[in-house]
Structures are given as C-alpha cells and as structure tokens.
C-alpha cells in the first residue's frame, strides 16, 4: 500500500488503496450489497458506501477565494452531518493546484472530524498538489495570487 507519510493527513496514491485502508476487512466483503447514499453541496459531491464517505470536488480547477469560502462552508455542513467515528476519504482526482487557504479549510474540516473520533484520508493528489502539503514553511504556502 502506497501510504505517503504526513504529520496530519493520511495520504494515499490511489482511491482503491485509501478505501482499503479505511474499510475493515469484514466490511469489504459486504461492499457489493451495501446501499449507496449521496449528498450534494455547492462545491462537493459526497457519497457513502460501506462505511466510507467519499468527498469529490465538483470543480476540479483552480480554487479561487470565492470557491474556497464555499468549500469551507460545505466542509462545515458535511462535518455537522456526519456522525461519530466516520471514515472520510477526500478524493483529489482532477485537482492540480490550490491556494494555501484551501489547506486551511481542509485542516478545519479535519479538526471537526477528529473531535468526533472520525478519520480522514486524502487520495489521488497530483504531484504538484501533493508537494504543497510538504512545504517547509507556512510562508511558502502562499500559492499564486488570487
């Protein structure tokens, strides 16, 4: 399994690896029979199956200031909606780059989930986006101007 070490987030190369990491073996065998739940937010498409909540971005392009504010609101609503001990997988398919404010929004989401005993993992990060999580200094994460 290609888990990428990070001090805050569990990061995986592929969707399959992340799903396997979040799903207990007993639940994986029941995958075919589980009902799929879905929710739609302004900027997020969310599905839940086999105990894993998968979060995808509707607009996979560059996240501007307005989009980040909307994502922050969507993350807050989703965190409120999810119960304790949830397993959340944030799928970055199609996301190439983002601003530092996006990571701040993601950190807030993660903190809300962790207060509920929940677990969050990230997957399918493009190389440039993944590198953004490993910059040595907060000042270096300013990203492109808005």
> DSSP 3-state assignment of 56?
strand
For residue 41, give the CATH number of its domain. 3.30.750.24
pLDDT for res 140: 46
Residue 141, pLDDT score: 47
- Res 39 pLDDT > 60: yes
Total number of domains constituting the chain: 1
pTM: 0.83
Torsion on CA atoms 72, 75, 81, 85, rounded to nearest 10: -140
User: Quick check: is 146 in a domain?
Assistant: no
Write the burial class of residue 12 (CB in 10 Å: 0-12 exposed, 13-18 middle, 19+ buried): buried
Q: At residue 57, does pLDDT exceed 80? A: yes
In a domain, 73, yes or no: yes
User: Would residue 71 count as lying in a domain?
Assistant: yes
Q: Which residue has the higher pLDDT, 2 or 22?
A: 22
d(CA 90, CA 62): 17
Q: Does residue 108 surpass a pLDDT of 90?
A: yes
What is the percent of the chain where pLDDT is above 70? Answer: 81
CB 36 within 8 A of CB 47: yes
For residue 44, is pLDDT > 90?
yes
Classify residue 32: in a domain, yes or no: no
Q: Are 50 and 34 in contact (CB under 8 A)?
A: yes
What's the mean pLDDT in 119-140?
Answer: 78
Count of CA atoms in the C-beta half-sphere (13 A) of 128: 9
Q: Return the biggest CA–CA distance within the chain.
A: 48
Check residue 135 and give its pLDDT: 67
Task: Determine, yes or no, domain membership for 47.
Answer: yes
Domain that holds residue 74: 3-26+37-136
Has residue 51 been placed in a domain? yes
């Amino acid at each position: 399994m290609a888990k990428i070490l990070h001090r805050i987030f569990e990061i995986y190369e592929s969707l399959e690896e992340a799903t396997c990491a979040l799903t207990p073996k007993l639940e994986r065998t029941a995958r075919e029979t589980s009902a799929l739940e879905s929710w739609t937010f302004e900027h997020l498409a969310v599905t839940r199956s086999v105990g894993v909540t998968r979060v995808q971005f509707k607009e996979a392009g560059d996240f501007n200031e307005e989009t980040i504010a909307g994502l922050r609101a969507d993350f807050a609503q989703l965190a409120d909606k999810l119960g304790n001990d949830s397993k959340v997988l944030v799928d970055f398919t199609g996301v190439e780059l983002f601003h530092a404010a996006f990571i701040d929004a993601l950190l807030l989401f993660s903190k809300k989930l962790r207060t509920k005993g929940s677990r969050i993992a990230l997957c399918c990060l493009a190389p440039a986006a993944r590198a953004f999580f490993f910059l040595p200094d907060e000042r270096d994460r300013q990203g492109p101007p808005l």
